[in-house]
Structure 1
Amino acid sequence: MNVMHRRLCRSDRWAERMHGQVMPWALEDLDLGGDVLEIGPGYGVTTRWLVGRTGPLTAVEVDPRLATALDREMAGRVEVHTADGARLPFRDASFDVVVCFTVLHHVPSPAHQDKVFAEAARVLRPGGVFAGSDSVLSLRFRLLHVGDTMVVVDPATMPDRLRDAGFLDASAEAGERSFRFRAGR
């Protein structure tokens, strides 16, 4: 991520938006009481919101520095692993819920995103749910990602992509700056 993007993702303003708007909307009416996996927590803004609202929480972060920092901060409250969401280090059917927030557009290709979806399906227990959010394309969003990986996910194609990955009842809904998705296993 570029300097401006890193600064935003660590900011109080970003945390307020994620905690006050995006995450409650994306996870509306979802039972988070079971084993929960978060893919791509980055600087931990979303993890800080989840930690008091879920059952046992596990996080997978591809960047070793961010994973180490999150592990230190969340010691004893979150099990943190350094791994790619497209190659999760867990047995089949390990989690009741898998979530990810504003991370999909950082995945380097649609094919790699589809592998993340397939891995989320693989590690979910029957009856489990994959849910989260990502950003919709705008000029502001493009400018924030100059020099970054930015592979925007089209919310209109998300349900079909999730079904192709093995999910049932997949849906996506666009809001003003974000979209939310949900799919069952």
Structure 2
Amino acid sequence: MGSELQRLYGNIDIYLLDQLLKGTYDSCERVLDAGCGSGRNLIYFLRNGFDVYGIDKDADAVSAAVELSGRLAPEHAEENFLNASAENLPFTDNYFDLVISSAVLHFAESPEHFDNMIRSMWRVLKPGGYLFARIASDIGIEALICSRGNGRYLLPDGSERFLVNQDMLLQYTHRLNGRLHEPIKTTNVQNLRCMTTWCLQKN
């Protein structure tokens, strides 16, 4: 059973898997992973007939995603996977039914950079489409982090990240004219870091 799950889903983000099992994205056709890495979150989509795209700033990661796509969905063009940044997505407006941003937004260098990434992802999303984002937050570890300025913090695990909080995510949801289709959920990893899942639908 374990090997079959691995074949179907790979090393997918567990909270993205949760949305798949709930059928949230059943009506989606065109999917973008904005920060795809080697494609760990795309195996299910490639195996199940979605029109899959990916971008990453790491050219080697893009090459690995192209190789994965070639094995699982040979009909996809290599051009679907591009060396690009989340804040400057090379796609037209209202193009995707689903945009995935898993462990990307917390690499923002400043509030302005974060804003540019979010608005770029939102721009390419169709009305009615979904944004799935997993991002580091201060929720539950507010007293354990140390500000480095520009919205970035030193975490107890020794990493430095741009951190969000619940109020910030709710404000963005309103500003973007989106809606939460799931409550904001946060996982606390032994007080070393916290990862928050932010699931939006575009009105």
Shorter chain as normaliser: what TM range? 0.7 to 0.9
Would the aligned equivalents of 2:134 and 2:196 in 1 still touch at CA under 8 Å? yes
Corresponding residue for residue 4 of structure 1: none
Once structures 1 and 2 are overlaid, which stretch shifts more, 26-35 or 125-134? 26-35
Question: Which has a greater percent of strand?
Answer: 2
Letter in 2 for 1:31: Y
Letter in 1 for 2:52: L
Query: Is 1:93 aligned with 2:94?
Result: yes
Would the aligned equivalents of 2:62 and 2:83 in 1 still touch at CA under 8 Å? yes
1:23 to 16, 30, 38: 16
Q: 1:145 to 1:162 in 2, by over 3 A?
A: farther
Would the aligned equivalents of 1:136 and 1:152 in 2 still touch at CA under 8 Å? yes
1:29-44 equivalent positions in 2, closer than 5 A: 29-32=23-26, 33-44=28-39
Would the aligned equivalents of 2:136 and 2:161 in 1 still touch at CA under 8 Å? no
Q: Tell which structure's C-alpha radius of gyration is larger.
A: 2
State the shift of 1:24 in Å: 2.2
State the shift of 1:183 in Å: 2.0
Corresponding residue for residue 57 of structure 1: 52
TM-score for the superposition, normalised by structure 2: 0.68
Would the aligned equivalents of 2:98 and 2:125 in 1 still touch at CA under 8 Å? yes
- Identity, in percent, stands at 19
Q: Per-residue CA shift, 1:96-139, capped at 9, x if unaligned?
A: 11111111112222211111111122111121111222234457
SS of aligned partner of 1:163: helix
Would the aligned equivalents of 2:19 and 2:25 in 1 still touch at CA under 8 Å? no
- For structure 1, the 5+ residue unaligned runs are 1-11
Letter in 1 for 2:155: R
Letter in 1 for 2:166: P
1:136-175 equivalent positions in 2, closer than 5 A: 136-137=137-138, 142=155, 144=157, 146=159, 150-164=161-175, 166-170=176-180, 173-175=184-186
CA distance in 2, matches of 1:25, 1:142: 27
Letter in 1 for 2:25: D
CA distance in 2, matches of 1:120, 1:112: 13
Would the aligned equivalents of 2:55 and 2:81 in 1 still touch at CA under 8 Å? yes
State the shift of 1:20 in Å: 6.8
Would the aligned equivalents of 1:102 and 1:133 in 2 still touch at CA under 8 Å? yes
**Larger relative contact order, structure 1 or 2 (CA cutoff 8 Å, min sep 6):** 1
Corresponding residue for residue 182 of structure 1: 199
Corresponding residue for residue 8 of structure 1: none
Corresponding residue for residue 126 of structure 1: 127
Q: 1:168 to 1:22 in 2, by over 3 A?
A: closer
SS of aligned partner of 2:54: strand
State the shift of 1:167 in Å: 3.3
RMSD: 3.0
Would the aligned equivalents of 1:41 and 1:61 in 2 still touch at CA under 8 Å? yes
1:99-110 equivalent positions in 2, closer than 5 A: 99-110=100-111
